[in-house]
Amino acid sequence: MAHDFFIQHKDGNDEYFAIFRGYCNGIMYKAFGMEIHDMIVSGDGFATSVSVFDAKTALDKAIKAFDESDYPDPRRMDNIKTFRQKMDQFPVNGSCLIWFG
């Protein structure tokens, strides 16, 4: 079991998705306010849609917390950081799919 977080822009374009594999003190659960989906050894498979605005806010929190941590692999968040930069091009009224596994 592991903690995987997946996010995709809901335009259906596979180019706009990112994965974070790792726990890092529950960073993604906390950033999205989804601690209830943390099943200790992995996520519970919960998927939901969130607004682009809320996803940007949560990813900004997660990236800040990660950058301030002493995570053993400092490049582990690179995929999420790249996705977050692309999000500035997403329509404001759009949504993203998130999944905790």
52-68 helix and 78-87 helix, angle to the nearest 10 degrees = 150
Q: Where are the chain's structural domains? A: 4-100
pTM of the entire structure? 0.93
In angstroms, the Cα distances linking 96 to 42, 48, 67, 68, 72 are 21, 8, 23, 26, 28
In terms of phi and psi (left: phi > 0; alpha: psi -120 to 50; beta: otherwise), the region of 22 is left
| Site of tokens 């997403």 | 90
Does 28 score more than 70 pLDDT? yes
pLDDT tens, residue by residue, 52-81: 999 999 999 999 999 999 999 999 999 999
Judge: domain 4-100, CATH 3.40.1760. yes
